[in-house]
Amino acid sequence: MPQGLVHEPIAKDLPRLVENRRSNQAIDDGPHDPQDYQHTVPQHQQVGARLMTPLILTRYTIVSALGKGLTETYQALRNRRSGLRPCDFEDVGITTYIGRVDDVEDVFLGGGATSAELERFDCRNNRLALLALQQDGFIQAAIEARERYGAHRVAVILGSSTSGILETEHAYNRRNPATGALPSAYLTSHRYTHNMFSSAHFVRTYLGLRGPAMVISTACSSSAKAFATAARFIEAGFCDAAVVGGVDSLCLTILYGFASLGLTSCAPCRPCDVNRNGLTLGESAGFALLEKSEEAGRPGAVALLGYGESCDGYHMSHPHPEGTGAIKAMHAALLRSALTPGDIDYIHLHGTATKSNDSIEDTAIHSVFGPSTLCSSTKGWTGHTLGAAGVTGAVIAAMCLTHSFVPGTLNTTRIDPSLCSHVMMENREQQVRRVLSNSFGFGGNNCSLIFGTV
């Protein structure tokens, strides 16, 4: 048993821990019964979850097919305007829709005294990252954190599933016809573009940061896990603040790969619909600046309250049919934040619109929360942004908290009657205090994040 993890009955521990959020006592990741709703988690090994001190999202931003920055994103959600369109990416010959970000091709990474250093990072993924950094005053907030703590005390922890793979695809198309050799320019640029560390390397270089840096690649949970990792880094004293988030951009491998698996829809995706027939791929980039509440706390600020992670490893691409890994992740997030299922006002679903994934996530949510907690998927707006799905969900969760707003499930016309959770189709105006956001990836890489206001 890991040091510091104490397995005790949850019913005895939880009231005490709710009263003392800053306690470092750990509690058992076992079942509990909010609002008299009885549920159990069969065949699960119990997992300890240490209470965490809330971390403030001092600044956050997002760029996706919905628009650039928080205002455009919120207006698109509020007006139920989807960002999905027929696939027009390069010469892709697939009948499908995509969530493509406009103007990425026009972004210039150079300029100023560091122009040559930045230009070597030039690729679609890093252009998309820069586009997001430029929104909502994020760059200035990161600079202020650098000045407050020192460049070596601000980490950069991001998620991405494919990084700059498009540059490698283009390089293969430009191979020497006689020898098959890749272009020489690509051989020197690979470490700054396709290399998985590329996005963190670029962001820390652009922002002048020198703290710990890494990129997590766990498929669709990547940028959600960046929040969890940053929380551990701050708790361990490796850094005082962290730029977290993720970026994933469209590429040929992803579009053709998902199509070959039979997972893409020829129309805009319809999460949780009885006639759903596949996902819609998209791209996005988002960032948040995480700091300790005593340094950045203010009334009404959005905070990361808890996180939960699991890896069930059931299958390379298919989640466990009983949702065991998802259940573990959600339980751990609740326990780490000292909350019960009844404390969650809204669940932002992973909700990819494939038959199996929506059904299995529903099974997991019903097991933990029962039939009453509001939930919805926003993939009908943005598409599935893969490694950036976690940060996209995090920013949408933050907007729910600050705007007293819950988005419905766009494009869905009839909820699958086999689903047991309370899936919303229409937007709703209501006070939201706490949101759980799910991100589930290939290989059973699961992450659940809980956000609330302080």
> Do 55-292 and 302-453 fold alike per CATH?
yes
404 backbone φψ class: left, alpha, beta (φ>0; ψ -120 to 50): left
Instruction: Tell me how long the chain is.
Output: 454
pLDDT digits (tens, 9 = 90+) for 163-190: 999 999 999 999 999 999 999 999 999 9
Contact criterion met (CB below 8 Å) for 333 and 247 = no
d(CA 287, CA 199): 12
Structure-block tokens of residue 419: 């689903």
Q: What are the residue ranges spanned by the domains of the chain?
A: 55-292, 302-453
- What residue type is 230 in one-letter code? A
Superfamily grouping for domain 55-292 = Thiolase/Chalcone synthase (3.40.47.10)
CATH class of 302-453: alpha beta
Which residues are identified as catalytic? 220, 350, 384
Ranges of beta strands (E only) in 249-390 are 281-282, 284-292, 302-311, 346-348, 374-376
- Closest to 337 in 3D by CA, of 138, 76, 144, 53: 53
Give this prediction's pTM.
0.89
Q: What is the pLDDT at residue 314?
A: 80
Whole-angstrom distance, CA of residue 315 vs CA of residue 421: 25
- pLDDT, tens digit, 9 for 90 and up, residues 359-394: 999 999 999 999 999 999 999 999 999 999 999 999
What are 110-161's pLDDT values in tens digits? Answer: 865 577 899 999 999 999 999 999 999 999 999 999 999 999 999 999 999 9
pLDDT in tens, 325-353: 999 999 999 999 999 999 999 999 999 99
Contacts of 91 (CB under 8 A, 6+ apart): none
Cα–Cα distance, 364 to 257 (Å, whole number): 27
Closest by CA to 385, choosing from 151, 98, 59, 2, is 98
